[in-house]
Chain A
């Protein structure tokens, strides 16, 4: 974001929804799922996309522990980043509320919108169920 007061339409609403335990993806009539902001299905070009609520929990499919961060995460490092599947979509998030050594493929997690220790910006996070 170039100006702290300006939001990213579509993305910030999604974070708001995730904070209310109502995270969603967008589905086209063919059942392809994607993330907002989105007007067109990236798989088939359909333009009638509908919000579908994501399951409460997901599963980590791969992960890493980052020691050399960008400046925006300087005070967060070391931290674990994971890709987790939530129903029809995957998400990339920071694993919170878990010892770094316990993060592994197959771990069941739920969404938790947290904030960066460095910038105070909201972060898409995963916490173990």
Chain B
């Protein structure tokens, strides 16, 4: 079984560019990824591409061949859709293809064009990740779903909005030096608490922005990396995926994410590590409460205690286990289909010393990327390790 190496990656700036097509965004990310990887386009065996709402935002289906063309590769291409975990699912299959020897070089990536829909339109588009009959038709929005989880968490384990505000403040702080981030501005606790409500208890600053953007990564087999003398010190050593009932109300727990726990346990076992070995993580903080649920599901915090992790400094840049040093979805932005691969790109750069925030994890050997779909009805987790 071959080890999987990250040969290079590329991100567009995440943010507001409503006029840019997803094919243009993705092309830009791939140009950077190919330059960084030193892998010729002609060596690519497959493109696995994540996208969620292209039918709604661009009236476009069948993205695989379109994006292969945009990237300038002649290889079979397939789109992956698992809501906000779309490109995490693409990474997982790329790992399998390389491990089983089917492919040597896989281009993974994703893109999303969202801001052209406007806030109401994007809210409507994001809602299709929930059960249309039993959730959306009752008026549940995506922020609404996470608000239901936040309220359930407060009722069951305690905590308050101010605890969540510390998550937002931390992630904005982390994004200050990330030139790809949508928000490179510091915020204070009061900013979060006084922001207009979206779905109570969550307000504007508890929510990730609506973003346009793309991500790409060139993944190669260890043999290919050695043969071509590539500088690829980071490997993807573990992969896991979990699933749950589609509608939040059909789950056993309203304030936990068993699908992410399942994905994390599988990825840790696959990599031969346990939670105590994790030095740094990029987790899916589409809302502040989502980061709390994620670090508990990944066993980085006991259930019921993740709420205080940012406030008490355990997950800040200088904390024990820094979470979302990229700024996370909250400050970096969340172009849905690009997010899973962007986490791999950020984490790989953090571990290899090529990230503006690498100084906070200079001794780190092991990182984890957690990508979640819907209200975590689907989740993927990947373990990355760097040669030290």
Query: A66: CB under 8 A from chain B?
Result: yes
Structural contact, A90 and B197, CB atoms closer than 8 A: no
| Contact string against B for A residues 66-83, beta-carbon threshold 8 Å, 1 for contact and 0 otherwise | 111111111010010111
Query: A65: CB under 8 A from chain B?
Result: yes
| Chain A residues within an 8 Å CB radius of B336 | none
Query: A47: CB under 8 A from chain B?
Result: no
Structural contact, B155 and A62, CB atoms closer than 8 A: yes
| Chain B residues within an 8 Å CB radius of A11 | 133-134
Structural contact, B144 and A66, CB atoms closer than 8 A: yes
Q: Which chain B residues numbered 26 to 82 have a C-beta less than 8 Å away from chain A? A: none
Query: A121: CB under 8 A from chain B?
Result: yes
Number of residues from B at the complex interface, CB < 8 A:
37
| Chain B residues within an 8 Å CB radius of A94 | 138-139
Q: Which chain A residues numbered 29 to 71 have a C-beta less than 8 Å away from chain B? A: 34-35, 42, 61-71
Assess A83 versus B249: contact at CB under 8 Å? Given A62-B155, A70-B136, A92-B140: yes
| Chain B residues within an 8 Å CB radius of A22 | none
Query: A98: CB under 8 A from chain B?
Result: no
Assess A76 versus B139: contact at CB under 8 Å? Given A71-B120, A91-B134: yes
A34 (CB) vs chain B CBs: closest residue: B250
Number of residues from A at the complex interface, CB < 8 A:
36
Query: B18: CB under 8 A from chain A?
Result: no
Structural contact, A83 and B137, CB atoms closer than 8 A: no
Assess A70 versus B127: contact at CB under 8 Å? Given A11-B133, A34-B250, A123-B139: yes
Query: B158: CB under 8 A from chain A?
Result: no
Structural contact, A123 and B140, CB atoms closer than 8 A: no
| Chain B residues within an 8 Å CB radius of A116 | 139
| Chain B residues within an 8 Å CB radius of A8 | 133
Assess A67 versus B139: contact at CB under 8 Å? Given A81-B148, A83-B248: no
B251 (CB) vs chain A CBs: closest residue: A90
* Interchain residue pairs A-B with the least CB separation, the first 7: A64-B147, A90-B249, A62-B152, A70-B124, A65-B200, A66-B199, A64-B199
30 A-B Cβ contacts within 8 A?
Answer: A11-B134, A34-B250, A62-B148, A62-B152, A63-B151, A64-B144, A64-B147, A64-B150, A64-B151, A64-B202, A65-B199, A66-B139, A66-B141, A67-B200, A70-B120, A70-B139, A72-B124, A76-B139, A81-B138, A81-B144, A81-B148, A82-B148, A90-B250, A92-B247, A94-B138, A105-B151, A105-B155, A121-B137, A124-B138, A125-B138
